[in-house]
C-alpha cells in the first residue's frame, strides 16, 4: 500500500473514532452526517486548512462544531482562531507613549545620520535604512508597537530590525528586555548572524549598539520554555514572557497553535511599552501544520492599507550576476507567471559537462531535458562538484572554532532540494544513493546502526522536536570522528545550539535523517550558497485531481529558489513545472481582523 492510501485510511479511522465520541452529544443527527463532517475537517486539516464549506446542513451549536459565515470548524480550532484574531486586534490597538513618540525624530537622526550603519560599495559609503522603502519601514516600526515586516530574501528585513533595535535602546529600552526567536534552530541562528552582521556596519561602536551584539536568538519552543515532563510551556497566560520587545523571524512557518501560544504569553498588560515585531516572507510555503497565519495577516492589513505593515520589494541579497534568481522568484509568485517567462529567466540551459561552470557562477540555471532524465549521473556529477569538496575539508575535531565555522558556513554551501520525501526522486532515496556513491569513492570509517550508515562529514537533520535534549525539528548537525576521554575514536553528531557546540552519541541521537538532500519544506528558514532542485519526471498524463500533485505549487518552487544565495540549478520537466507555476496552496481559514 502506498503512503497516500495509508494516509487516507488513517484519516478515515480517525474520523470514525471522532464520530463515536460525538454521536452521544448530537442525538438528533445521523452518525453518517457526523462522520461526513468529521472526515471533511480531518482531511482539510491534513492539507493545512482550518475549515470547510458548510454544505447543505449546518451542525447545531455545540462544543464540537462551530460555524461562521459559510464555514464549518471543529470547535477547538475555531476557539484558537478566535483567540488569535482578538489577540491581533489588541496588538493593533497598542500605541506608543507620548514620551516615546517625541523621541522618534531624534532617534532616527542618530541612527541614520550621526552614527548610521554604513556599507561600502566601490569608493562610496551607503547608509543602511537611509532612504527608500527600508527607511519607511524603520519609521513605521518605530511608530507602532506592533509591526509586521515582510519581503523576499535580500530585501533587508534584518537590516531594518537591526536599526529598529538600535533605535529602541536609544529610546530607553534595555537590550536585556529584548527577545529574539524563530520557528527552527537554523532560522534563529540566521537571525542572530544577520543582526550581528548588520550591527558591525556601525560608524562608531557605541555602548548601546555593543549591548545588542550580546543578544541571542532561540526557537519559539525555547522562548516559551517547554517542559517535557509536564508537557506544557513555562510561559503562558498566567506567567507571561519577561521581555518588553519580542522579534519573531520566519513567521510564515508559525502555525495556528504555536502563534496562539505565543500571543497567550505576551506581557501586554504587564509592560506598558511592549512591542511585537513579526518578520517573514508571505510568499513562502505556509506552516507545515494547519493555518496560514502570516499570509492571512498580511492580506488583512494590506486590504485596509494599515501602517502597521510594510512589504520590502527591492532585493539586494544576491551578489552581482545572481539577479536571475530574484527574477525567477518574482515570476513564481506572479498571478500570470508563465512557463515561458520562467524558463527565460534562467541564465542558460546547461549540460552535465559544464555543471562546474554553473556552480562557480552566480544565477539561475536549468539542466537540459536529456540530462535531467539520467538521475544517477546527475547525482554523481553534482556530488563530485558540490559535496565531495566539503567532505575533504572537515574541521579538526579538537578545534572548536573550526567546528563552529563549519556548522555555521561550510555545512550550508550546497544542498539538494526535493519536492517529495518518498519514492525514487524523494529525499530519502537520494540520500541513500548519495551515501553509497560517496563511500565507494572516498574510503571513510563507517558505523552502521540499524539501517543507517554514518561516516565523518555526514550532515544530519533532526526531524522531531526533542525538548529534553534541546534539539528541534530542522536543526542540522555534522558527524565527526571525536576522541573520547580514554583516547579512543568515536563517531559523534555535533550541533551548534544557541552558539554552543553540543555532541551526541549516534545511538542516542533523536529522530533524524541524512541531509545531503532534504525536502523544500525542511529547507524553510535556511539558506545555502548553491542548490540543486529536483522535480520527478513528467507523468505521461497529468491529472489535476491527482493527490500526488498537491505539493506542486507556486509557493514550493518560490521557497526552493529563494533558499539560494549564489546559484540555483533546476532539473524539471515542462509539465510538472508548468503545473506548479499555475497553482497555489489554497488554505481555508476564514481569518478575520
**DSSP annotation string for 522-589:** HHTT--EEEEEEEPPPPPSS--TT-GGGTT-SHHHHHHHHTTEEEEEEEE--HHHHHHHHH-------
Q: Find out whether 109 is annotated in a ligand binding site.
A: no
Q: Find out whether 156 is annotated in a ligand binding site.
A: yes
Measure Cα distances from 280 to 23, 31, 333, 563, 568 in Å. Answer: 42, 43, 15, 13, 21
Question: Is-contact 148 298, C-beta < 8 A?
Answer: yes
Q: Find out whether 155 is annotated in a ligand binding site.
A: yes
Question: In the 8-state DSSP scheme, what is residue 321?
Answer: T
Question: In the 8-state DSSP scheme, what is residue 467?
Answer: T
Q: Find out whether 154 is annotated in a ligand binding site.
A: yes
Measure Cα distances from 124 to 3, 103, 118, 156 in Å. Answer: 57, 30, 10, 19
Query: Which of helix, strand or coil describes residue 393?
Result: coil
What b/e string do you get for 360-398 counting C-beta neighbours within 10 Å, with b at 16 or more? ebbbbbbbeeebbeebeebbbbbbebbbbebbeebbebe
Distance in angstroms (rounded) separating the CA atoms of residues 408 and 405: 5
Query: Which of helix, strand or coil describes residue 497?
Result: strand
Nearest CA among 434, 426, 459, 413 for reference residue 567 = 413
Angle ∠(213,217,220) on CA atoms, nearest 5 = 160
Helix (H) or strand (E) holding 363: strand 363-367
Nearest CA among 414, 376, 415, 439 for reference residue 517 = 415
Angle ∠(536,368,336) on CA atoms, nearest 5 = 70
Residue carrying C-alpha cell 495556528: 256
**DSSP annotation string for 183-238:** SSHHHHHHHHHHHHHHHTTBSS--HHHHHHHT--EEEHHHHHTEETTTTEESSSSS
Distance in angstroms (rounded) separating the CA atoms of residues 472 and 186: 10
Q: Find out whether 157 is annotated in a ligand binding site.
A: yes
Q: Find out whether 272 is annotated in a ligand binding site.
A: no
Q: Find out whether 31 is annotated in a ligand binding site.
A: no
Question: Cell numbers at residue 11, please?
Answer: 484519516
Question: Is-contact 55 86, C-beta < 8 A?
Answer: no
**DSSP annotation string for 4-69:** HHHHHHHHHHHHHHHHHHHHTT-TTS-HHHHHHHHHHHHHHHHTT-S-EE--SSPPPSSSSEEEET
Distance in angstroms (rounded) separating the CA atoms of residues 19 and 120: 65
Give the strand order in the sheet containing 512-514.
Answer: 500-505, 489-497, 476-483, 459-462, 512-514
Q: Find out whether 219 is annotated in a ligand binding site.
A: no
What b/e string do you get for 266-283 counting C-beta neighbours within 10 Å, with b at 16 or more? bbbeebebbbbbbbbbbb
Binding-site residue numbers are 151-158
For the annotated binding site for ATP, the residues are: 151-158
Amino acid at each position: 500500500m502506498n503512503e497516500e492510501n495509508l494516509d487516507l485510511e488513517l484519516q478515515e479511522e480517525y474520523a470514525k473514532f471522532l464520530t463515536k465520541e460525538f454521536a452521544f452529544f448530537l442525538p438528533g443527527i445521523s452518525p453518517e452526517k457526523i462522520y461526513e463532517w468529521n472526515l471533511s475537517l480531518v482531511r482539510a486539516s491534513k492539507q493545512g486548512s482550518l475549515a470547510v464549506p458548510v454544505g447543505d446542513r449546518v451542525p447545531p451549536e455545540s462544543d464540537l462544531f462551530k460555524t461562521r459565515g459559510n464555514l464549518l470548524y471543529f470547535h477547538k480550532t475555531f476557539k484558537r482562531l478566535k483567540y488569535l484574531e482578538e489577540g491581533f486586534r489588541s496588538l493593533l490597538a497598542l500605541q506608543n507613549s507620548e514620551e516615546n513618540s517625541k523621541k522618534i525624530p531624534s532617534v532616527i537622526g542618530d541612527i541614520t545620520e550621526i552614527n548610521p550603519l554604513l556599507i561600502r560599495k566601490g569608493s562610496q559609503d551607503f547608509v543602511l535604512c537611509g532612504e527608500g522603502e527600508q527607511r519607511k519601514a524603520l519609521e513605521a516600526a518605530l511608530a507602532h508597537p506592533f509591526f509586521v515586516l515582510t519581503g523576499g530574501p535580500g530585501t533587508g528585513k534584518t537590516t531594518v530590525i537591526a536599526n529598529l533595535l538600535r533605535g529602541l535602546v536609544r529610546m530607553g529600552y534595555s537590550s536585556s528586555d529584548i527577545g529574539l526567536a524563530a520557528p527552527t534552530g537554523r532560522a534563529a541562528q540566521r537571525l542572530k548572524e544577520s543582526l550581528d552582521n548588520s550591527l558591525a556596519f556601525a560608524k562608531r561602536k557605541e555602548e548601546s549598539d555593543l549591548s545588542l551584539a550580546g543578544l541571542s536568538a532561540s526557537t519559539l519552543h525555547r522562548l516559551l520554555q517547554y517542559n517535557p515532563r509536564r508537557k506544557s510551556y513555562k510561559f503562558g497566560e498566567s506567567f507571561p514572557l519577561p521581555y518588553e520587545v519580542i522579534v519573531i523571524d520566519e513567521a510564515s512557518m508559525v502555525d495556528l497553535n504555536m502563534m496562539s501560544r505565543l500571543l497567550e504569553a505576551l506581557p501586554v498588560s504587564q509592560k506598558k511599552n511592549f512591542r511585537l515585531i513579526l518578520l517573514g516572507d508571505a510568499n513562502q510555503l505556509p506552516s507545515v501544520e494547519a493555518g496560514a497565519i502570516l499570509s492571512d495577516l498580511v492580506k488583512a492589513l494590506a486590504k485596509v492599507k494599515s501602517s502597521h505593515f510594510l512589504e520590502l520589494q527591492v532585493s539586494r541579497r544576491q551578489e552581482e550576476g545572481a539577479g536571475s534568481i530574484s527574477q525567477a522568484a518574482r515570476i513564481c509568485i506572479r498571478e500570470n507567471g508563465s512557463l515561458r517567462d520562467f524558463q527565460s529567466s534562467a541564465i542558460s540551459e546547461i549540460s552535465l559537462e559544464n555543471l562546474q561552470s554553473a556552480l562557480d557562477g552566480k544565477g539561475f540555471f536549468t539542466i537540459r531535458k536529456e540530462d535531467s532524465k539520467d538521475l544517477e549521473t546527475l547525482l554523481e556529477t553534482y556530488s563530485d562538484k558540490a559535496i565531495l569538496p566539503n567532505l575533504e575539508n572537515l574541521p579538526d575535531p579538537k578545534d572548536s572554532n573550526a567546528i563552529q565555522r563549519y556548522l555555521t558556513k561550510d555545512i550550508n554551501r550546497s544542498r539538494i532540494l526535493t519536492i517529495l520525501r518518498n519514492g525514487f526522486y524523494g529525499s530519502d532515496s537520494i540520500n541513500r544513493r548519495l551515501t553509497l556513491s560517496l563511500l565507494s569513492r572516498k574510503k571513510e570509517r563507517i558505523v552502521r546502526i540499524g539501517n543507517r550508515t554514518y561516516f565523518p562529514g555526514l550532515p544530519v537533520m533532526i526531524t522531531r522536536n526533542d525538548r529534553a535534549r534541546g534539539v528541534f525539528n530542522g536543526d542540522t548537525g555534522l558527524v565527526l570522528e571525536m576522541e573520547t576521554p580514554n583516547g579512543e575514536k568515536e563517531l559523534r553528531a555535533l550541533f551548534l545550539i544557541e552558539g554552543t557546540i553540543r555532541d551526541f552519541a549516534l545511538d542516542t541521537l533523536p529522530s533524524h535523517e541524512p541531509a545531503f538532500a532534504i525536502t523544500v519544506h525542511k529547507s524553510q528558514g535556511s539558506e545555502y550558497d548553491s542548490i540543486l532542485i529536483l522535480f520527478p519526471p513528467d507523468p505521461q498524463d497529468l491529472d489535476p485531481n491527482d493527490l500526488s500533485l498537491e505539493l506542486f505549487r507556486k509557493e514550493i518552487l518560490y521557497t526552493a529558489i529563494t533558499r539560494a544565495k549564489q546559484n540555483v540549478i533546476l532539473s524539471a520537466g515542462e509539465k510538472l513545472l508548468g503545473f506548479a507555476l499555475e497553482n497555489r496552496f489554497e488554505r481555508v481559514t476564514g481569518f478575520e481582523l
